[in-house]
Amino acid sequence: MAQTALARKYRPRSFSDVAAQQHVSDTLRRAVSGDRTAQAYLFCGPRGVGKTTLARVLAMALNCPLRSTDQSSETAGEPCGECESCRSIWAGQASVDIVEIDAASNRGVDAARDLRERAMYAPSGESRRKVYIVDEAHMLTREAWNALLKILEEPPPGVVFVFATTEPQKIQQAAGPILSRCQRFDFRRISVIDIVARMKDVLAEEGLSAEDAALTVIARKADGGMRDGLSLLDQVLSFSRGEMTAEVVRGVLGVVNEERFLELFGIVAERRHAEIFTFVESLSDDGFDVVEFYYGLLDMLRRLLRLRLAPSGADAGSDSDTRFAGLATRFEPSDLVRMLSAAAELETRGSLRRSPNPRILVEMLLLRMSYLDRAVEIEEVIAALGGAPRSGSSSNPPDGSAGVPAPGTAPSQGSGHGPSRLPETTKPISPHVVAPSPAPQAKAAGPRAETAASRRPASTEPERDLHRVARNPEPVDSRDAASVGSRGEKSVGSRGTGKQRPKRRTGLPPTSSRTSPGLTLDKVLELEPGLRPAVEELDLELVRPLDR
């Protein structure tokens, strides 16, 4: 007698048996029991998560004469699985009512037209429903979808279409209107815990046993697919004799041992760059696939980062978790994030899959991780340099630094404080000077020594002085330009003091004589050569001609 694969032998035959898809199975079961079945369904999700299985169970439930009809029962809408109709549908026997189509080999418009013509015929019995299950539906062409549009919108009585696909985005691109004619269900990836639990049930039915660690390796390799997990279990059972161990499973499936990753991370942590090549060469000599090693590296980097951020999450009874948690302390979290980001780039770009020599890419990745600069906290750098204290600590200002008076405090005349200043939001005093870029400002913004002769007494009416200065701007030399450009502030002199107005320090003509709109920056520099260093150093320019 031919051996039946475990994935087929233990395929679910009811809504409640489908693992991890309760949101789909419960909805379909209640739709059947309440006679609210839609005319078309779209099942989306990864491979091996139960899309085609639930489509078959739905077909069985719609055509089962013995299905439960008690609305108060949790089994309402479930097929019996024992009647002739259920057995024939589950066995995949030829039927005029239940038709399964592989869209990968029947993807053209002719196949779609044939399907449309067959769907126009009534079911074989009064209480039966016709169900068309189209697998790999994303393989249908645009023309095939167009041929099905009308019948999906207005199907004949008693006809249900079920489309199963792993790539719904292709259907969106080829035939967007199809999505509005179907009820869409997104199937979830099955967790490692659910896959392990299902494999334990299968092994119990087969009278076999296996280590939990071995089943965990198989479940992780299955990548969220129950069918893949049972197929891998079938493969390992064919190889092993007696109880399955984690080492046997890794050897059969080609999974890199955790000891290899511990060795690798030790090399990276100690920056033994030359040993990277020896390590990769030993992997190849032992028959490991470097691409499979790369995917294992992603998982181990994620595991290290998780244990580094949350050491309490490690399983105290697991020697593996204990060793990885100890290794994680040799890296800063930011280092592990950068290493994981660098490793993920190969998968994001897809270069590893396209490369004819992926070993070179893996070696370069490991070397980048080995040469990666280690992250250091800025507080440690400052402390090592013996520099500034941390924020919040009290310390005196450096010698020679002048204190800045509080806003709104006007120092009295001759008090020794700096001159009163305009708010920073005011415009520069001279309209002929533009504030320089931030870099020159930083250089020019240092404290300037002030002498008693250079200080001017504060005004008792600063606002009136501001308007006076704005009406009669005084040109400034290079030192004043730096001061105005870098700080946006200028001292305001007092009014009515009886003192003689200071002598002009520039050779420019008075404001009243600047009537020519052709007075450019070059002419200004010719009249006043002393401005040239400030213009060149601060990259000043003339905003508008001096026409008034």
Asked if residue 303 lies in contact with residue 318, where contact means CB atoms within 8 angstroms, the answer is: no
Q: 377 pLDDT band (50/70/90 cuts)?
A: low
User: Can you read off the two tokens belonging to residue 376?
Assistant: 């250091």
Single-letter residue type at 403: G
- The proportion of the chain whose per-residue pLDDT surpasses 90, expressed as a percent, equals 32
Is pLDDT at 391 greater than 90 in this prediction?
A: no
Least confident window among 102-116, 477-491, 505-519: 477-491
Where do the domains of the chain lie, and which CATH numbers do they carry? Answer: 6-186 (3.40.50.300), 192-253 (1.10.8.60), 258-371 (1.20.272.10), 429-444+458-485+511-548 (no CATH)
Q: 77 pLDDT band (50/70/90 cuts)?
A: confident
DSSP H helices in 350-505: 351-354, 358-371, 378-385, 438-444, 462-471, 478-487
How many angstroms separate the CA atoms of 328 and 312, rounded?
A: 13
Least confident window among 25-34, 203-212, 438-447: 438-447
Where does 45-193 show beta strands of DSSP type E? 98-102, 130-135, 159-165, 183-186
User: Can you read off the two tokens belonging to residue 52?
Assistant: 């085609």
Q: 389 pLDDT band (50/70/90 cuts)?
A: low
How many angstroms separate the CA atoms of 28 and 37, rounded?
A: 8
Q: 427 pLDDT band (50/70/90 cuts)?
A: very low
Asked if residue 543 lies in contact with residue 432, where contact means CB atoms within 8 angstroms, the answer is: yes
User: Can you read off the two tokens belonging to residue 456?
Assistant: 């001017």
Which pLDDT score is estimated for 38? 92
CA angle 200, 205, 206 (to 5 degrees): 95
How many angstroms separate the CA atoms of 266 and 144, rounded?
A: 56
Least confident window among 253-262, 264-273, 398-407: 398-407
User: Can you read off the two tokens belonging to residue 458?
Assistant: 């504060």
**Average pLDDT for residues 124-147, to the nearest whole number?**
89
Residues 6+ apart with CB under 8 A from 191: 20, 224
In the block, which residue shows the tokens 């509005």? 180
**Average pLDDT for residues 421-433, to the nearest whole number?**
46
Which pLDDT score is estimated for 200? 93
Q: 444 pLDDT band (50/70/90 cuts)?
A: very low
Q: 94 pLDDT band (50/70/90 cuts)?
A: low
Least confident window among 29-33, 345-349, 516-520, 531-535: 516-520
| Higher local confidence (pLDDT), 499 or 378 | 378
**Average pLDDT for residues 178-205, to the nearest whole number?**
92
Q: 175 pLDDT band (50/70/90 cuts)?
A: confident
Helix (H) or strand (E) holding 43: strand 40-44
In the predicted model, what is the mean pLDDT of the chain? 77
Q: 483: how many CB neighbours lie within 10 A of its CB? A: 17
How many angstroms separate the CA atoms of 87 and 98, rounded?
A: 12
**Average pLDDT for residues 15-35, to the nearest whole number?**
90
Which pLDDT score is estimated for 516? 52
Q: 198 pLDDT band (50/70/90 cuts)?
A: very high
User: Can you read off the two tokens belonging to residue 316?
Assistant: 């105290």
Q: 510: how many CB neighbours lie within 10 A of its CB? A: 8
Nearest alpha carbon to residue 139 among 114, 177, 99, 112: 112
How many angstroms separate the CA atoms of 88 and 94, rounded?
A: 8
Residues 6+ apart with CB under 8 A from 254: 287, 288, 289, 292
User: Can you read off the two tokens belonging to residue 150?
Assistant: 């009308």
Query: Between the ranges 198-207, 305-314, 514-523, where is the mean pLDDT highest?
Result: 198-207
Q: 346 pLDDT band (50/70/90 cuts)?
A: confident
Q: 424 pLDDT band (50/70/90 cuts)?
A: very low
Asked if residue 177 lies in contact with residue 183, where contact means CB atoms within 8 angstroms, the answer is: no
- Report the predicted TM-score, pTM, of the whole model to 2 decimal places: 0.63
**Average pLDDT for residues 363-378, to the nearest whole number?**
82
Least confident window among 245-249, 423-427, 536-540: 423-427
Which pLDDT score is estimated for 80? 87
Q: What is the dihedral of CA 200, 204, 206, 212, to 10 degrees?
A: 40
| Higher local confidence (pLDDT), 142 or 515 | 142
Is pLDDT at 294 greater than 60 in this prediction?
A: yes
Asked if residue 141 lies in contact with residue 105, where contact means CB atoms within 8 angstroms, the answer is: no
**Average pLDDT for residues 238-265, to the nearest whole number?**
86
Q: 453 pLDDT band (50/70/90 cuts)?
A: very low
DSSP H helices in 372-429: 378-385
Q: How big is the chain by its Cα radius of gyration, in Å?
A: 40
Is pLDDT at 243 greater than 80 in this prediction?
A: no
Q: 432: how many CB neighbours lie within 10 A of its CB? A: 20
Which pLDDT score is estimated for 409? 47
Which pLDDT score is estimated for 374? 66
Single-letter residue type at 211: E
> pLDDT of 316-339, one tens digit each?
556 777 888 888 889 989 899 999
* 445-458 per-residue burial string, b: 16 or more CB within 10 A, e: under 16: eeeeeeeeeeebbb
How many angstroms separate the CA atoms of 180 and 178, rounded?
A: 5
> pLDDT of 54-75, one tens digit each?
999 999 999 988 887 776 777 8
Asked if residue 113 lies in contact with residue 143, where contact means CB atoms within 8 angstroms, the answer is: no
**Average pLDDT for residues 236-263, to the nearest whole number?**
85
How many angstroms separate the CA atoms of 213 and 208, rounded?
A: 15
